[in-house]
Amino acid sequence: MQYKPIIIVGGEPNSVFLEIFFKSLKFRRFKSPIILIASKELVIAHMKKLNFKFKLRLLNHKKLNLDKIDNKKINLIHINYNINFFFKKISYLSKEYINDSFRIALKIMKSKISNKLINGPISKKHFLDKKYLGITEFLAHKTNSKKFAMLIYNKKLSVSPVTTHLPLKLVSKNINKKLIIEKIQLIYQFYKNFFQKKPKIALTCLNPHCESNNKYDEDSKIIKPSISFFSKKGIIINGPFSSDTIFLKQNRKKYDVIIGMYHDQVLNPMKTLFEYDAINITLGLPFIRISPDHGPNENMIGKNLSDPTSLIRAIEFLDR
C-alpha cells in the first residue's frame, strides 16, 4: 500500500466530532486509508441522528490487514461504550473508553503500521489526571518523549506557546532559556524536515510592550539570551516583540511561526485570524499527532451545524 493509514481516535463520545468526521468524508475522497477508533453503536447512532449513510467495515486491531481496506466504507476499530451514556453531558464516564482508544492507537503507532494519528476533542477536565496539563503532555508521557512542542499550524502562519495549559500566574515561574531553546529547535527542525525550508521565526516577550518594573525582567534575562543563542549558530530568530503588535498584518506576514510565552498570548490572535482553518500538531513524538483546533462543544451535538474545516485540514495534512 502506497499510503500509510491515518488512525483517528474518536475522542470524547459526547462531542460534535463524529458529525465533523462524517462531513469530512463527504468533502472528498482521501488517498490514505482512514481507520476510526470508536464505538460501533455510537457511530451508528450519530449517523441515524444526523442522517448520514455510510457502510462500516469492522477491523481487528490485533490483525490489521491493510490490503483489504479503502475509504469506500468507514474502517472501524470498535471500542465498547455504554449505550445509556450516548448524547449526555460530558463526564468521567467516558474516561475508560478514551483510554482504551488511545491504548490501541498507540499500539498501532508502535508497530509502525502507521505514523499518522489524529484525535478528536477531549475534555481535559474529565479525562486527564492532574499530572497532565493537556493531551500533548499525556501523549508525550505515553511515548517517553522528553522534548515536545505544540504547533498551531496554518500554511500562512503558525504559532506555538512555550508553556501550554498553565494557569497564567504560573507562566513566569516556568519559562526558562533551556525550555525556549528546546521549543525553537523542535519547530525549526520540523519545518526543515517536513517542508524543506528554514522557517522565519519571531519570538514574543512576556511582559506588555517588553517592559517590566519588577526587579527581575524575564524579557532581558531569559528571552533575549535565548535569541542570542541561535544567532551564534547562524540561525536568525527575531524578537522579542510585543504581542500586541507582532500580529499586525505588516508584521506577521514576515514570519512562518510566531512563538509566544503562554497559551492565550498566541492562540487568541491565531483563532481570530483563521478560526477553524488551523490544526494542532504535537512535535517531538515518534509519530505525527494532530488534533482539530477546537473543543468537544457538547451543546452542539446532533444539530448538524458544526464546521468540519479543522478536521479536513488535519486529514489533508497527513494525506501524503
* pLDDT average per 10 residues of sequence, the chain (320 residues): 90 93 93 96 95 96 88 96 81 91 97 96 84 90 96 97 93 96 97 96 94 83 95 91 96 97 96 94 97 82 90 96
CA gap 249, 160 in Å, rounded: 18
User: Are both 259 and 302 inside the same structural domain?
Assistant: no
Q: Look at residues 256, 275, 294 and tell me which one is the last residue of a structural domain.
A: 275
Which residues lie below 8 Å from residue 28, measured CB to CB, with a gap of 6+? 312
The number of domains in the chain is 2
CATH at 134: 3.40.718.10
- 280 located within any domain: no
Report pTM.
0.93
pLDDT for res 93: 86
pLDDT for res 1: 54
Note down the domain range covering 190.
150-275
User: Are both 96 and 16 inside the same structural domain?
Assistant: yes
Tens-place pLDDT, residues 161-185: 999 989 999 999 999 999 999 999 9
Strands, E assignment, the chain: 6-9, 34-38, 56-58, 74-78, 116-119, 149-153, 158-161, 201-204, 237-241, 257-260, 279-283, 288-292
Q: How many CA atoms lie within 13 A of 306 on its CB side?
A: 27
pLDDT for res 130: 75
- 249 located within any domain: yes
- Picking from 7, 93, 16, 108, the residue whose alpha carbon sits closest to that of residue 298 is 16
Residue written as grid cell 525582567: 217
User: Are both 30 and 141 inside the same structural domain?
Assistant: yes
